[in-house]
Chains A and B, each alone.
Chain A
Amino acid sequence: MSDTKTSVKRRGFFSAVAVGGAAALTARPETATAQPAPPTPSATPPGAATAAAETKTPHELPLTEGRSGSDYMVDVIKTLDIDYLACMPGSTFRGLHESIINYGGNRKPEFLTCLHEEISVAMAHGYAKVANKPMAVLLHGPVGLQHASMAIYNAWCDRVPIVMLAGNGLDATKRRPGVEWAHTAQDNAAIVRDFVKFDDQPASYGHFAESLVRAYAISVTQPAAPVLIMADSELQELPIEDEPRGIPRLSLPRLPAGDPNALAEAARLLVAAENPVIVVDRYSRTQAGVDTLVALAEALQVPVINKLTRMNMPNQHHLNQTFRARALLGQADVILGIEVVDFWGTVNDLRDLIHREEVHLTKPTAKTISLGTTSVPMHANFQDFQRYQPVDIDIIGDGETSLPWLLEAVKRALPAERQAAIAGRGDKQRAAFKQIQGATLTNASYGWDASPISVARLCAELWDQIKDLDWALTAGESFFQSFWPQKLWKTEKVYQFIGGSGGYGVGYGAPGAVGTALAHREHGRFVVNIQGDGELMCCPGALWTAVHHKIPLLTVMHNNRAYHQELMHVQRMADRRTRGIDRAVIGTTITDPAIDYSKLAQSMGMWAAGPISDPNELGAALRKAIDVVKRGEPALVDVICQPR
């Protein structure tokens, strides 16, 4: 008997059982045909033939099955060394769900129970930036995919690999009426095709294997991005009698390095420059990448401006001059951008005025070099590729792969007579860095005893208690915290800072942190998330997943009781229009009632303290929470904070 023939009978049988079961609850089968038709039937009453079929055991149809299509899908997934699979359950992948937990033994991948698909994808997003490999995500047809879409877009903008699978039943004759139709799309991936790198709807097991293995390779190849493969519902649930052909071996491409001639040309420009500057964006994935950037910067004593989307450069290194960006760019004669997504916005500004005004931040004579994979957008609909910026040398190549070659080219091009000038430049940078450090501490002292608690105080209290641990900061947009962790803490390891959401889509913070903390767990690192209050309410269920899966993570609420960025936007509009300036709080603040985040966390089984508004009580609360996290559990401290 062929698979197809079997499946037709089996599906028909399941439908009959379902309808018959419902009927059996309301009428005795032998009397059903004698009853008058109900006045407003919700389903067609069974006829004599149907009733007979329902009451007889269909001996010719199988009631159980052994190896199923979704078992084979698990075999394919297991070839990819994927440790975790994040998922909110859904019927379109019930077969695959069962295969993962039973046939697959719930290991590699291990199932992570999530309370929303946005949480699943954001967890995978945060995880990948630390683990340096993708997590799998299982999504429920168009329903779950639409829930997940914003988180997918964030990962797309942030150049992060995620391997997503979605259930979907293409064969219309196999769908039960109602829900199964509503939860199916003929081209499900179309929902997110603009911000995934590859997708497919495999029509056979062999096709599934090839597409998933191919998708994995595409996802992790730089520039990395999410990929999406459909797991057809019927294929999942069919029994396998003839084993599909073998699973293709994963072959990962070597990452592309920039053209050697172009790198040599760039090196000559950098060596000859009087005031070169390096701007670095989504660059570092490994500690080796960080070390190479430090070596390049030191070879030329060139200041580095970090766009704070990755760790990139130790923040206490004297050449990390991130917070002098405007001054450095204004005097630069050569600017090297490494994996800079927004080069135009690096060398220009567009002021937020009624008539938006362009401001050029660099000299017209400054030479610009772009090195990375960012200057060729993969898709055009969503505009995350930013404004077009012509550069003098555009080198396409992965930043981490190319930089050692650029460093060698710089060393070769560096004449001995330049050493003294370069050393002098280093002395100037040291002096400037020392000045910034002093000003930073003074600035942190303003509002030190204020209530609401200053964000500088919050970060200083936190740093005091984690600085001797193997710590990592996760998620979050640095701007919201006025960059205080980047200013006050000492960041040396690549995993200690991984940037924010990528697409600035609110909601990433909490689930991204949970995914990040999961990746850190096997290394025993202490993970901190400074979490915006408004953002937490997008995906509060992430807290439950952290508790459920025993993922140690300290969440410190930066609770300003508002969507504060939006409050400032509305204030700006009110100021411009002069119709009243005291009502911007309408629709932007989260008060009346104020949300009690410690109770929210406690309701999901998490240890929590707060709200804390007295800065003198903060240290003790953090200490207790840190003890909880050290025991391997998540904890939350709600801190009533200054806006920024």
Chain B
Amino acid sequence: MRTLIMCLSVLSIAPAMAQDAARGQHLFMADGCYECHGTVGQGGAAAPKLAPDPLPAEAIAHYIRHPAAVMPPYVETLVGDADVRDIQAYLASLPQPKPLNDIPLLAR
């Protein structure tokens, strides 16, 4: 809990920056996020779904620096807070999936 509070504090005092979804998409690929989560964050056997409806940037930042399970850590010097915000912006920009009834192959 103490760690979480510290991380949230750090993020909250960071200079406000415009979130850049395009840059976030680039980072999502370059930093290897897609390898386990898929290029649109859809998840799979290797890792859970991230998008649509991603966690807030603060929660993502905390988790990737202190992963609870087997996810490898992404330290702040390599994925900074601004990077996380842009990655979150990319994930948030991804559309909701169609309703199942609009996908004939999945409609049951």
From B2-10, B12-20, B54-62, B96-104, give the one contacting chain A: B96-104
Q: How far is the CA of A353 from the CA of B66 in the complex (A)?
A: 12
Q: A454 at interface (Cβ–Cβ under 8 A)?
A: yes
Within 8 A of B (CB), among A239-263: none
Interface size, chain B (Cβ < 8 Å): 34
Determine whether the beta carbon of B31 is less than 8 Å from that of A568. Answer: no
Cβ distance B107 to chain A, nearest Cβ, rounded Å:
8
Determine whether the beta carbon of B32 is less than 8 Å from that of A571. Answer: yes
Determine whether the beta carbon of A447 is less than 8 Å from that of B103. Answer: no
Determine whether the beta carbon of B40 is less than 8 Å from that of A447. Answer: yes
Provided the pairs A443-B49, A445-B100 are in contact, do residues A450 and B40 lie with their beta carbons within 8 angstroms? yes
Determine whether the beta carbon of A580 is less than 8 Å from that of B78. Answer: yes
Query: Interface 1/0s, chain B 73-97, versus A by CB < 8 A?
Result: 1110111000000000000000001
Among B30, B32, B44, chain A packs the most CB atoms within 10 A around the CB of B44
Determine whether the beta carbon of A568 is less than 8 Å from that of B42. Answer: no
Question: Which residues of the other chain, B, contact A564 by a CB distance below 8 angstroms?
Answer: 35
Determine whether the beta carbon of A352 is less than 8 Å from that of B70. Answer: yes
Cβ distance A302 to chain B, nearest Cβ, rounded Å:
25
Determine whether the beta carbon of B97 is less than 8 Å from that of A448. Answer: yes
Among B39, B49, B52, chain A packs the most CB atoms within 10 A around the CB of B39
Q: How far is the CA of A374 from the CA of B87 in the complex (A)?
A: 47
Within 8 A of B (CB), among A564-588: 564, 567-568, 571-572, 574-576, 578, 580-582, 584
Determine whether the beta carbon of B49 is less than 8 Å from that of A446. Answer: yes
Question: Which residues of the other chain, A, contact B108 by a CB distance below 8 angstroms?
Answer: 437, 441
Q: B1 at interface (Cβ–Cβ under 8 A)?
A: no
Residue of A nearest to B50 (CB): A446
Q: How far is the CA of A351 from the CA of B49 in the complex (A)?
A: 21
Determine whether the beta carbon of B40 is less than 8 Å from that of A446. Answer: yes
- From A454, A479, A576, A582, contact of B31 by CB (8 A): A582
Question: Which residues of the other chain, A, contact B51 by a CB distance below 8 angstroms?
Answer: 446
Determine whether the beta carbon of A482 is less than 8 Å from that of B45. Answer: yes
Residue of B nearest to A582 (CB): B30
Q: How far is the CA of A227 from the CA of B5 in the complex (A)?
A: 62
Determine whether the beta carbon of A445 is less than 8 Å from that of B32. Answer: no
Determine whether the beta carbon of A443 is less than 8 Å from that of B70. Answer: no
Q: How far is the CA of A479 from the CA of B47 in the complex (A)?
A: 12
Determine whether the beta carbon of A447 is less than 8 Å from that of B78. Answer: no
Within 8 A of B (CB), among A456-495: 456, 460-461, 463-464, 479-483
Q: How far is the CA of A447 from the CA of B97 in the complex (A)?
A: 7
Q: How far is the CA of A500 from the CA of B102 in the complex (A)?
A: 34
Question: Which residues of the other chain, B, contact A450 by a CB distance below 8 angstroms?
Answer: 38-40, 42
Q: B36 at interface (Cβ–Cβ under 8 A)?
A: yes
Question: Which residues of the other chain, B, contact A644 by a CB distance below 8 angstroms?
Answer: 36, 38, 44-46
Question: Which residues of the other chain, A, contact B34 by a CB distance below 8 angstroms?
Answer: 643
The 10 A-B residue pairs whose C-beta atoms are closest, nearest first, are A447-B42, A575-B72, A644-B44, A446-B42, A482-B44, A482-B45, A445-B97, A460-B105, A571-B32, A572-B72
Identify 13 residue pairs between A and B in the complex whose beta-carbon atoms are under 8 Å apart, listed by A's number: A351-B70, A445-B97, A446-B42, A448-B97, A454-B38, A461-B105, A464-B105, A483-B45, A567-B35, A571-B35, A576-B73, A581-B78, A643-B38
Given A643-B34, A643-B46, 12 further pairs, Cβ under 8 A: A447-B39, A450-B38, A482-B44, A482-B45, A568-B46, A581-B32, A582-B31, A642-B38, A642-B39, A643-B35, A643-B38, A644-B46
